[in-house]
Amino acid sequence: MKQQQNTYSRYGMLGHFLNGCKRFFIYTIIVSFLVTVFEMLIPQVIRQTVDSVLSDEKMNAPAFVVRLFEDMGGAAYFREHLHIIAIIVMAMALMLAVLIYLRGLTASVSAERLQQNIREDLFAHIERLPFSWHQENKTGDIIQRCTSDAERVRTFISDQMISILRIMIMVVMSLSFMASMNLKLTLIAMIAVPVVVGYSLRFHSSIGKSFEKCDENEGILSTIAQENLTGVRVVRAFGREEFERERFEKQNVYYTGLWVDLMKLLSLFWSVSDFIGGIQILLILVMGSVFCVNGELTAGEFIAFLSYNGMLIWPVRQLGRVISEMSKAGVSIDRIRYIMNSAPEEDKADAVPTEETEKALRGDIVFDHVSFAYEKDQEVLSDISFTIPAGSTLGILGSTGSGKSTLMLLLNRLYDVPEGSGKITIGGVDIADMKAQDLRNNIGMVLQEPFLFSRTVGENIAIRNREMPLEEIRDAARIACVDRTITDFKNGYDTIVGERGVTLSGGQKQRTAIARMLTQKAPVMVFDDSLSAVDAETDAMIRAQLKESLGSSTVILISHRVTTLMQADKIIVLDKGRIVEEGTPKELQTAGGLYQKIYDIQLSFSEEEAS
């Protein structure tokens, strides 16, 4: 099978997820920038007021501001009308509030859009991955990758990357405003930056282990709770309540202790970094006062400087934390990349056209020296060859694990026959050359353990065509001997199946699955032990009705019940992946092989039952 594989790099994959929501992130960045600009301008207004309105310093500002100031009447005018300045400051504060609101809005819209993209892409990709991939990867693990890892990747982009950008803008802008007023004091203010960033980076990297331990123990705690809920019957029946309660309590106490320890460490961190920040402010206060006295700095500049310093030092404390958290996102990105880079099922470019496949599917089915192994060197099927003439019925008998289901998975191409290990042809066409969907559309399969969705019984039967008329659904159900059972439910065919509805017995599920398969009207039909949970009588009845309705279909019947197979045109007997016997039921009955042995045992049992 030709497979087209993604090879996303870490950033390539993030870029892929950002498709279609990039502009929301750009809005967020622009608005964040504007917020910072307004935050920076307010101290400037106060500075000019102190220096050029309340004192007589010459205004030190861009030329157009100075001109505007003079045109309006200069210091003398504003001294008389101080409320104008108050209104300007208030208007700016209002503008700032609006921008902060917009920033919150764009940030959450972009985060949610991104989350939606990640979920959609992951789900769509997982749906296209081959069956063998799903067999190899545990469901719980896939779910975790799609939930907590996906969430961490979203946080990485929409929180952490954006935070870093915002902090950078803040730091660069406050430093440049500071430098425009006094370079020496700016340099003093900057000394603290690497100290604070370095300290918080070190702290947060070292605390990562403690967070992991908390996560792990939360998992253990919820597993105990979950096990007790699902296994409540066993707990009650064996009087284990007290033991389980103590086990839970012990874990709960331990888990709480871990968090308390972690919180102690975090409090220590915040107070130490507050202390460093405090020293820095103290330094600026002392040095600033000295510069003021020396005449290197005006009072207004000093006030503005203190505001900028505040804007500088607090975000810088976050920087170390964000960077150390970002470094942890790599693991999650790789865990999702593993899914996105797994090769989906893809048809050959020169695959056989659909009509040809449909025609071929009405021909003979030939297994030609097929061998197969799930795991290297552990052959499950060895050199299997047989032919099923079109329209005939083949029975397959064999003990559990002899490879019967595997044969059918290969026929349906849920697994591919590896190159050089033989081939399967139908109507002369190698199934490897067909489109997988065409092949599967034309082979109806009832699996040993059928799966029903948590939808209505009717929907479960009409799964291939939601428009199927009820009469057609019921016809199929009648042949499968399940119509009566369903109509006896209070809601009939609208009864919901599964956890939130009725629980069907094993036999009812199997019969529903048979009905589902019959609606497909496929030229090839496979029953993989699909009557095992049905009593012998119903089994016989279903078989009799099937015989009438199957018409010209080619049928494969897999069973461990000899009676089920007796009407087959030919039977093959599998043992440990090899064909050990084949022939008509009559021939095998007296051949003295495995079939006869099983036949004798099972028939003597049913005679006993009868007597």
Ligand X SMILES: Nc1ncnc2c1ncn2[C@@H]1O[C@H](COP(=O)(O)OP(=O)(O)O)[C@@H](O)[C@H]1O
Which one of 271-279, 382-390, 403-411, 565-573 is the stretch in contact with ligand X (CB under 6 A)?
A: 403-411
Residue nearer to Mg ion on the CB measure, 182 or 405: 405
Residue nearer to Mg ion on the CB measure, 441 or 448: 448
Residue nearer to ligand X on the CB measure, 32 or 559: 559
Does residue number 400 form part of the binding site for ligand X (CB under 6 A)? yes
The CB-of-388 to ligand X minimum distance in angstroms stands at 18
- Binding residues for Mg ion, rule CB under 5 A, total 2
With residue 131 as reference, give the H or E element that holds it: helix 131-136
Q: Give the whole-angstrom CA distance, residue 13 versus residue 7.
A: 9
Selected from 135, 148, 180, 226, the binder of ligand X by CB under 6 A is 135
403 binds, among ligand X, Mg ion, none (CB under 5 to 8 A by kind): ligand X
Residue nearer to ligand X on the CB measure, 179 or 380: 380
| Burial letters 42-63, b for 16+ CB under 10 A, else e | bbbeebbbbbbbeeebeebbee
Q: Give the whole-angstrom CA distance, residue 271 versus residue 367.
A: 75
Strands 554-559 and 393-398: parallel
Which one of 81-89, 231-239, 344-352, 393-401 is the stretch in contact with ligand X (CB under 6 A)?
A: 393-401
Cα–Cα distance list, 400 to 305, 404, 573 (Å): 81, 8, 12
Which one of 200-208, 257-265, 342-350, 404-412 is the stretch in contact with ligand X (CB under 6 A)?
A: 404-412
**Backbone phi, then psi, for 416, in 5-degree steps?**
-95, 140
Query: 430-469: which residues touch Mg ion (CB under 5 A)?
Result: 448
Residue nearer to ligand X on the CB measure, 49 or 510: 510
Distance of CA 550 to the CA centre of its chain: 41
Does residue number 530 form part of the binding site for Mg ion (CB under 5 A)? no
Name, in order, each residue with C-beta under 8 angstroms of 507's C-beta and a sequence gap of 6 or more: 533, 534, 535, 538
Selected from 73, 194, 278, 401, the binder of ligand X by CB under 6 A is 401
Helices 299-340, 162-181: axis angle to 10 degrees equals 160
The CB-of-411 to Mg ion minimum distance in angstroms stands at 13
Does residue number 405 form part of the binding site for ligand X (CB under 6 A)? yes
Query: 262-321: which residues touch Mg ion (CB under 5 A)?
Result: none
Helix then strand then coil, in percent of the chain rounded to 5, is 65, 10, 25
Does residue number 608 form part of the binding site for ligand X (CB under 6 A)? no
Q: Give the whole-angstrom CA distance, residue 449 versus residue 79.
A: 88
Which one of 189-197, 400-408, 453-461, 481-489 is the stretch in contact with ligand X (CB under 6 A)?
A: 400-408
Q: Give the whole-angstrom CA distance, residue 61 versus residue 66.
A: 6
The CB-of-317 to ligand X minimum distance in angstroms stands at 52
Selected from 43, 130, 315, 398, the binder of ligand X by CB under 6 A is 398
Q: Residue 413 corresponds to which amino acid?
A: R
Q: Which of 415, 404, 479 is nearest to 447 (CA)?
A: 404
Left if phi > 0, otherwise alpha if psi is -120 to 50, otherwise beta: which for 295?
Answer: left
149: helix, coil or strand?
helix
The CB-of-404 to Mg ion minimum distance in angstroms stands at 5
Does residue number 147 form part of the binding site for ligand X (CB under 6 A)? no
Selected from 406, 442, 554, 559, the binder of ligand X by CB under 6 A is 406
What is the number of the residue whose Cβ is closest to Mg ion?
405
Q: Give the whole-angstrom CA distance, residue 571 versus residue 585.
A: 6
Does residue number 380 form part of the binding site for ligand X (CB under 6 A)? yes
402 binds, among ligand X, Mg ion, none (CB under 5 to 8 A by kind): ligand X
Does residue number 130 form part of the binding site for ligand X (CB under 6 A)? no
Does residue number 374 form part of the binding site for ligand X (CB under 6 A)? yes
The CB-of-494 to ligand X minimum distance in angstroms stands at 34
The CB-of-560 to Mg ion minimum distance in angstroms stands at 9
The CB-of-362 to ligand X minimum distance in angstroms stands at 26
The CB-of-408 to Mg ion minimum distance in angstroms stands at 8
* Rg for the chain, CA atoms, rounded: 37
The CB-of-435 to ligand X minimum distance in angstroms stands at 24
Which one of 380-388, 403-411, 472-480, 538-546 is the stretch in contact with Mg ion (CB under 5 A)?
A: 403-411
Query: 43-82: which residues touch ligand X (CB under 6 A)?
Result: none
Residue nearer to ligand X on the CB measure, 259 or 374: 374
Instruction: Kindly compute the dihedral angle of the four CA atoms of residues 469, 473, 478, 481, in this order, to the nearest 10 degrees.
Output: -160
* Planar angle of CA 365, 368, 370, nearest 5 degrees: 115
474 binds, among Mg ion, ligand X, none (CB under 5 to 8 A by kind): none
Does residue number 405 form part of the binding site for Mg ion (CB under 5 A)? yes
Name, in order, each residue with C-beta under 8 angstroms of 262's C-beta and a sequence gap of 6 or more: 207, 210, 211, 214
Which one of 27-35, 70-78, 159-167, 400-408 is the stretch in contact with Mg ion (CB under 5 A)?
A: 400-408
Number of residues written out for the chain: 611
Selected from 52, 402, 520, 554, the binder of ligand X by CB under 6 A is 402
Selected from 130, 288, 315, 403, the binder of ligand X by CB under 6 A is 403
* Planar angle of CA 456, 460, 464, nearest 5 degrees: 135
Which one of 86-94, 187-195, 214-222, 402-410 is the stretch in contact with ligand X (CB under 6 A)?
A: 402-410
Residue nearer to Mg ion on the CB measure, 110 or 405: 405
Strands 554-559 and 379-388: unpaired
With residue 170 as reference, give the H or E element that holds it: helix 162-181
Two tokens at 517?
């398969």
* Planar angle of CA 488, 451, 371, nearest 5 degrees: 140
401 binds, among ligand X, Mg ion, none (CB under 5 to 8 A by kind): ligand X
581: helix, coil or strand?
strand
380 binds, among ligand X, Mg ion, none (CB under 5 to 8 A by kind): ligand X
Q: Which of 573, 570, 564 is nearest to 546 (CA)?
A: 564
Question: Is the C-alpha dihedral spanning 253, 256, 258, 263 positive or negative?
Answer: negative
The CB-of-136 to ligand X minimum distance in angstroms stands at 8
Q: Which residues contact Mg ion by CB under 5 A?
A: 405, 448
Binding stretches for ligand X (CB under 6 A): 135, 374-375, 380, 398, 400-406
